[in-house]
């Protein structure tokens, strides 16, 4: 495939990257909104100007809020690099079948990660598995990109 | 417009995305520099090797430093996803007028967010408003990208 | 160079961006894995479901774990914006020699930053120097992108 066509909607690999990236953007934002809701439910506000009542004080150690914040931060550490490397991987013109399934693996694994971490706490190794499936797929893409850049 | 032309400087939508993205990159870095300055002013250093005088100890709870760090983290949670989805949205060839105003909304709202959060603390709902304007515009782009990928 | 060719492997500037981006993706993930290993070595787990033994309790203040987490967060604050602006900078068709050396400077400086911050603690100003080399190169790219978007 010629390079300018790789980033068009006619390329099913790019299209798959496009769809899963947008879904994961919404997933990251969902974690942010969920943090906000959890702050309301537990009355845990980090800034004086956010306090809903003069009786409240700023609080930083609610375990429910902190759990969602850890899940959210884990998204930043893993999904944001995927956005960058996924696009570059598309530009190396990978085999469609493999690339599409890698994107699906990252997308599904990261949604599962949030569910078992912050929504319904499921015992380990469920979260570790979801983490490593997404990480493995992203590392594979990075290695393919390095190979394309080098040779 | 043909796809390869979408990412050129001749496309005013891409050009607008380009300009606002670069401005928001500088805004994120400004938050980082501001954190560093605040650490100096309040002598709040997180690492033993950063202590400027043998009398100082590491400190993690200065409210001014923590406030800037929360604003900075909020940038990572919201602006970095915008970089990814904004580019993909440009590639769906959106109507120029709408796209340009969405980019402006995100850019201005995120600058206002930092100002009212970390520079001059303005009572709520100013920060919430700035947050939701940028979030709403970015979510809209993500939904449009999903629609383009699906149909 | 014509715009559609800028993002192809025939463009050595893009190729250099590609390689360093992928290396820095792996570097960010290395910081994440290193955090996990440090949690095991120091038995510092943030979630009840992660505790390896019923005698352990959740812990949030191990200085070794927190140090790696600060280095990791600093990566998110600085490397993720580079992924976005580096790509846009490639699309402004910069002089190859300058662009390639800027990418190298960012890549090497950020690897050095992690080494002197989280692996072997080296006295300041080593970390500050690594931080500002990468920041300076990225800010320069952002300014060039703004100039291209504006004129």
Q: Which residues, including other chains, have CB under 8 Å from residue C98's CB and lie 6 or more apart?
A: none
Q: How many domains does chain B have?
A: 1
Where is average pLDDT lowest: A3-7, B133-137, C46-50?
Answer: A3-7
pLDDT 10s digits, A68-86: 999 999 999 999 999 999 9
Using CA coordinates, name the residue in chain A closest to B123: A49
Q: What is the pLDDT of residue B50?
A: 87
Structural domain boundaries enclosing C61: 12-149
Q: Phi/psi at A51 (nearest 5 deg)? A: -60, 125
Rounded-to-integer distance, Cα A91 and Cα B135, Å: 29
Candidate from B7, B19, B23 with C-beta closest to C91 = B7
Task: Report chain B's terminal Cα–Cα distance, integer Å.
Answer: 18
Rounded-to-integer distance, Cα C4 and Cα C2, Å: 6
pLDDT at A138 over 60: yes
3-class state of residue A9 by DSSP: coil
pLDDT 10s digits, B39-95: 999 999 999 898 888 888 888 889 999 999 999 999 999 999 999 999 999 999 999
pLDDT band for position A2 (cuts 50, 70, 90): low
**Residue A86 Cα, gap to closest chain B Cα (Å):** 11
Give the percent of chain C with pLDDT over 90. 77
Average pLDDT of the segment spanning A138-151: 92
CB-CB under 8 Å, C76 with A80: yes
Q: What is the pLDDT of residue A83?
A: 96
A8-22, B97-111, C119-133 — most confident range: B97-111
Is C2 contained in some domain?
A: no
Residue A34 tokens read as 């969920």
Q: What is the pLDDT of residue B132?
A: 96
Is B105 contained in some domain?
A: yes
| Residue-by-residue DSSP string for chain C | --HHHHTSTT-HHHHHHHHHHHHHHHHHHHHHHHHHHHHHHHT--SSGGG-SSTT-------HHHHHHHHHHHHHHHHHHHHHHHHHHHHTT---HHHHHHHHHHHHHHHHHHHIIIIIS---TTHHHHHHHHHHHHHHHHHHHHHHHHH-
CB-CB under 8 Å, C23 with A146: yes
3-class state of residue A119 by DSSP: helix
Best of C12, C25, C40, C44 to disrupt the A interface by mutation (most A CBs within 10 Å)?
C25
Nearest in space to A85 (alpha carbons), one of C84, B74, C104, C137:
C84
* Rg (alpha carbons) of chain B, rounded to whole number: 19
Torsion sign (Cα): C106, B88, A27, A65: positive
Nearest in space to B139 (alpha carbons), one of B90, B82, B95, B99:
B82
Q: Which residues, including other chains, have CB under 8 Å from residue A82's CB and lie 6 or more apart?
A: A21, A24, A106, A110, A134, A138, A141
Rounded-to-integer distance, Cα C148 and Cα B7, Å: 13
Is C72 contained in some domain?
A: yes
B78-82, B120-124, C43-47 — most confident range: B78-82
Is B36 contained in some domain?
A: yes
Candidate from B7, B15, B49 with C-beta closest to C123 = B49
Rounded-to-integer distance, Cα A38 and Cα B10, Å: 45
pLDDT band for position B2 (cuts 50, 70, 90): low
CB-CB under 8 Å, A150 with C19: yes
Rounded-to-integer distance, Cα B125 and Cα B107, Å: 19
A116-120, B39-43, C75-79 — most confident range: C75-79
Candidate from A22, A49, A72 with C-beta closest to B146 = A22
Chain B interface residues (partner A, CB cutoff 8 A):
3-4, 7, 66-67, 70, 76-78, 80-81, 83-85, 87-88, 91-92, 117, 121-124, 127, 135, 138-139, 142-143, 145-146, 148-150
Q: Which residues, including other chains, have CB under 8 Å from residue B25's CB and lie 6 or more apart?
A: C81, C84, C85, C138, C142
Q: Phi/psi at A21 (nearest 5 deg)? A: -60, -45
Is A3 contained in some domain?
A: no
Q: Which residues of C touch B26 (CB under 8 A)?
A: 139, 142-143
Task: Please name the chains neighbouring B, where neighbouring means 3+ C-beta pairs under 8 angstroms.
Answer: A, C
Is A5 contained in some domain?
A: no
Cα dihedral A101/A107/A109/A114 (nearest 10): 180
3-class state of residue B83 by DSSP: helix
Q: Which residues, including other chains, have CB under 8 Å from residue C73's CB and lie 6 or more apart?
A: none
Is B49 contained in some domain?
A: yes
Is C7 contained in some domain?
A: no
Q: Which residues of C touch B18 (CB under 8 A)?
A: 88, 91, 145, 148-149
Record the pTM.
0.94
Candidate from A3, A81, A121 with C-beta closest to C28 = A81
pLDDT band for position B15 (cuts 50, 70, 90): very high
**Residue B151 Cα, gap to closest chain C Cα (Å):** 25
CATH at B145:
1.20.120.550
Query: Is residue A24 within 8 Å of residue A113, measured between CB atoms?
Result: no
Q: Phi/psi at A44 (nearest 5 deg)? A: -110, 95
């Amino acid at each position: 495939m010629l390079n300018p066509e790789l980033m068009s909607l006619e390329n099913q690999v790019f299209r798959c990257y496009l769809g899963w990236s947008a879904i994961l953007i919404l997933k990251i934002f969902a974690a942010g909104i969920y943090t906000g809701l959890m702050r309301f439910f537990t009355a845990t506000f980090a800034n004086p100007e956010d306090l809903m009542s003069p009786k409240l004080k700023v609080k930083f150690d609610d375990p429910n809020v902190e759990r969602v914040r850890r899940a959210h931060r884990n998204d930043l550490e893993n999904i944001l690099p995927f956005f960058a490397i996924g696009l570059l991987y598309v530009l190396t013109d990978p085999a469609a079948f493999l690339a599409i399934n890698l994107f699906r693996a990252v997308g599904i694994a990261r949604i599962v990660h949030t569910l078992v971490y912050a929504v319904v706490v499921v015992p380990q190794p469920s979260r570790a598995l979801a983490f490593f499936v997404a990480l493995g797929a992203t590392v594979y893409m990075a290695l393919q990109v390095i190979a394309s850049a080098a040779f």
